[in-house]
Amino acid sequence: MSSERALTAFAGFMVLLSVILTIWVHPYFVWFTVFVGANLFQQSFTGFCPATIVLKKLFGFKSEREIVLEAVSTHRE
């Protein structure tokens, strides 16, 4: 799984979690949903998301570009 796909899955999970927390714990958890949405919005323009750095360092995810370059270099050998 690429880091881009992992980030999408992580963001979706965070939105669902924040909605659950808003409903069952406290209405102010809606701001967590706003935070996740704002991060996704800025990431679509800048290409930068701190969660991607964490996913790469902690779990070793590679970007789609790195995966393709690896496959091409392996195929050439």
In angstroms, rounded to a whole number, what is the distance separating the alpha carbons of residues 53 and 55? 5
Which residues, including other chains, have CB under 8 Å from residue 19's CB and lie 6 or more apart? 33
Report percent pLDDT > 90 for the chain: 61
Under a CB-based contact definition with an 8 Å cutoff, are residues 48 and 7 in contact? Answer: no
- pLDDT per position as a tens digit, 13-28: 999 999 999 999 999 9
* Cα–Cα distance for residue pair 28/25, rounded to 1 Å: 9
**pTM, two decimal places:** 0.81
Q: To the nearest 10°, the Cα dihedral for 4, 41, 32, 51?
A: 30
The pLDDT assigned to 73 comes to: 83
CB 1 within 8 A of CB 46: no
Q: Residue 60's pLDDT is what?
A: 92
Say yes or no to pLDDT of 12 above 90.
yes
